[in-house]
Amino acid sequence: MNALDFHKSLIVVDALQASAWDRELLQELVDGGVTAVNVTLVYWEDARATLDRIGEWHRLFERHGDLVMPARSAEDIEAAKKAGKVAIVFGLQNCSPIEDDLALVQVFNELGVKIMQLTYNNQSLIGAGCYEKVDAGISRFGREVIKEMNRVGMLIDLSHSAEFTSLQAIEISERPVAITHANPLSFHHGIRNKSDTLLKVLAQSGGMLGFSTYPFHIGGSDTPLEKFCAMIADTVEMLGIEHVGIGSDMCRKHSREYLDWMRSGRWSKELDSGEAKSAGGGWPDYPAWFRTPADFPNITQGLLAKGFSEDEVARIMGRNWLEFFRASFAPA
Amino acid sequence: MNALDFHKSLIVVDALQASAWDRELLQELVDGGVTAVNVTLVYWEDARATLDRIGEWHRLFERHGDLVMPARSAEDIEAAKKAGKVAIVFGLQNCSPIEDDLALVQVFNELGVKIMQLTYNNQSLIGAGCYEKVDAGISRFGREVIKEMNRVGMLIDLSHSAEFTSLQAIEISERPVAITHANPLSFHHGIRNKSDTLLKVLAQSGGMLGFSTYPFHIGGSDTPLEKFCAMIADTVEMLGIEHVGIGSDMCRKHSREYLDWMRSGRWSKELDSGEAKSAGGGWPDYPAWFRTPADFPNITQGLLAKGFSEDEVARIMGRNWLEFFRASFAPA
């Protein structure tokens, strides 16, 4: 079996993409042999606006049902693989949709939202984001939300949370949690990347890390595939093969206006592009080996070239996420 | 002039009341010789729900325009005094109405909201409430909000904020701030009362403290008027006569359901009545000398009996707040 056929045989899971979806982008997922994607619904939106985002996906499912289907469980993802379609898992990059209402955790879970970040860069009602200078950890409301997410089977995602908030969330949560899209700080020193301490605690508690291809998480667009795969090898050595997967953070076709919303919401008069300041606030180019999700076979090939066994590659490319989702998305 | 006539001659300002307003309650304000009240619109409400609360006041003004009138400035308060009516200043006990939208500061300012607390007991998007175990101070959004409140002339109220959040807010704000309703911790050790350190920093920066009559802030309903007035005398000695006033925290006629909302919002499945647990979660009795705002003359009498001069009593009972509002409610 050549590398491409091997790739096509795999369950491929991308634990984070955030694009302005249309048929062309959905086709890229199919072309890249992607089995399931956690798609970002919102960054700063409240409950009502989140319903709009969900409604938009309902229309996409209706129009492009030959390419994609909604997924709320590992079984749905397996069914998508069999049907030759891409399974779409709804995720939130902020807790803004639940506002200050604990009851909205179950409401959004019933609407198919299976993954929620506790914070997005800033202080939320739950905890501190990674751009805050001081981090008080999980709030009183946050403890209730974590308990409720554990109960209904909504996965906690700490990708944009600050360090102490993340450590405390792991401690409070009775179920393993995820960092769906980030890399080790020890690989590249970026604001969104994570300390070895945090990653070890995450893995020891049964959690998962998804490796990001976003240029500011890998040290720039010129970073070669070999270096990305070497980072994966180093992290596997540190955390164990069971605790890693891919979370590409691929973001396509958004307008500049939407990127500004993503970065600054409506909380500041001045645009704050964070790490993207150096790219003039625009979206940086992805590396040549991963320009779209259709390039997913390149990563499989890179991992094989790095010396991972086929079983290890299958785990990294999606089987780990599949089994983790199986455990995480079921009610307690 | 006897004490009652003296009282009736004063500008009397109550920097915080939170009642389920009807004609009887508005009449109590008139009977008590009250010139102006900061009335609480919301505890946990979002922008839309806050518009409902403002609409309810518009109807009250229409129906009971013989008793009350809206006020957005010291001049409005003086006009109310001349007209023999009570001036109503809108206030928020939480920043929930502005959601995560900096633009809503000016929007609510234009609707007559002249006072806003940065937090209500819990972590908000701006800072930590006094019931949080850890206090990281003012968030990135919070810095923007403080700047914007300073610009439009909306007074910052720290009554329900945690200590470090309060100290940092005072440092960041370019205009003096208030604690509209609380007492010194050194008088009574309650969760909502404030340290001497904080109160001294507040006064040194030109801010104001409003003394509360809420039983959990004064050590119980049996606390005699003499003790309340002695606390005022001690605090005046510590902070200076210019920095104190009354913020009774009077709360009348709310249903048990509303009290539960006030305490626990929708952020927890379990009711959390905080300090009111010992009162079975209900509202404790106010002291015999201040059962309703109609009892305001008793406080004037108590202060005179304590030995304050008429000028000092006039300051404490309202003139300090009037001049503070004059400076605080004007745009920068």
Domains of chain A, by residue range, sit at: 3-328
**What pLDDT shows up at residue B178?**
98
Q: What average pLDDT does the segment A268-288 reach?
A: 83
Question: What is the complex's ipTM, to 2 decimals?
Answer: 0.90
pLDDT in tens, A149-167: 999 999 999 999 999 999 9
Query: 3-state DSSP helix/strand/coil percent for chain A, to nearest 5?
Result: 50, 15, 40
CA–CA distance, A280 with A278 (Å, rounded to integer): 5
List the single residue in A96, A134, A141 with the smallest CB-CB distance to B136: A134
pLDDT, position A315: 98
Q: By CA distance, what is A105's nearest residue in B?
A: B267
pLDDT at site A281: 73
Q: What is the mean pLDDT of chain A?
A: 96
Q: How many residues does chain A have?
A: 332
Verify whether the Cβ–Cβ distance A139 to B131 is below 8 Å: no
Choose the closest CB to B44 out of A100, A136, A268. A100
Cross-chain Cβ contact B102/A128 below 8 Å: no
- Tell me if B244 sits within 8 A of B208, measured CB to CB: yes
Q: How far is B144 from chain A (nearest CA, A)?
A: 6
* pLDDT surpassing 90 at residue A1: no
Nearest by Cα to A18 from A258, A228, A234: A258
Interface of B with A in 68-127 (CB under 8 A): 96, 99-103, 122-126
For position B34, what pLDDT does the model report? Answer: 98
Return the residue in B96, B99, B134 with the most chain A beta carbons within 10 A, the one to mutate for interface testing. Answer: B134
pLDDT value for B284:
86
Split chain B (332 residues) into runs of 10 and give each run's mean pLDDT: 93 98 98 98 97 98 98 98 98 98 98 98 98 97 98 98 98 98 97 98 98 96 97 98 98 93 93 78 89 98 98 98 98 96
Tell me what the mean pLDDT of segment A292-305 comes to.
Answer: 98
The residue-averaged pLDDT of A69-75 equals 98
Question: Does B266 contact A101 at a Cβ distance shorter than 8 Å?
Answer: yes
| pLDDT cut 70: percent of chain A above it | 100
Considering only residues 199 to 238 of chain B, which have any Cβ-Cβ distance to chain A shorter than 8 Å?
A: none
pLDDT of residue B271: 87
- A136–B135 C-beta distance less than 8 A: yes
pLDDT tens for A49-67 read 999 999 999 999 999 999 9
Give yes or no for residue A26 having a pLDDT over 90: yes
Question: pLDDT-based confidence at A276, cuts 50/70/90?
Answer: confident
Q: Alpha-carbon Rg of chain B, whole angstroms? A: 18
Task: Tell me whether residues B123 and A140 touch, CB distance under 8 A.
Answer: yes
Number of residues that this document lists for chain B? 332
Rounded to 5 degrees, φ, ψ at A272 are -120, 100
For the residues of B71-127, what is the DSSP string, one character each?
A: -SSHHHHHHHHHHT-EEEEEEESSSGGGTT-THHHHHHHHTTEEEEES-SSS--SS-
- Percentage above 90 pLDDT, chain A: 94
CA distance A107 to A125: 18
Maximal C-alpha separation, chain A: 56
Identify the pLDDT of residue A275. 80
| E-strand stretches of chain B | 13-17, 36-40, 68-70, 86-92, 113-117, 155-157, 178-179, 208-211, 244-246
Does residue A282 carry a pLDDT above 80? no
Q: Would you say domain B3-328 falls under CATH 3.40.50.300?
A: no
Question: B269: which chain A residues are within 8 Å (Cβ-Cβ)?
Answer: 102, 144
Q: Do B266 and A100 touch (CB under 8 A)?
A: yes
Residue A101 CB contacts under 8 Å (≥ 6 apart), including other chains: A47, B266, B267
Give the Cα separation of B206 and B179 in Å (integer). Answer: 12
Mean pLDDT of the A130-142 span: 97
Q: Do A131 and B122 touch (CB under 8 A)?
A: no
Whether residue A49 lies within 8 A of chain B, CB to CB, comes out as no
CB A88 within 8 A of CB A26: no
Check residue B274 and give its pLDDT. 81
Q: Give the C-alpha separation, B235 to B231, whole Å.
A: 6
- For chain B, first and last CA: distance in Å? 40
- Partners of A135 on chain B (C-beta within 8 Å) are 136
How far apart, in whole angstroms, are the C-alpha atoms of residue B106 and residue B109? 5
Q: Please, which residues have CB within 8 angstroms of residue A82's CB and are 6 or more apart in sequence?
A: none
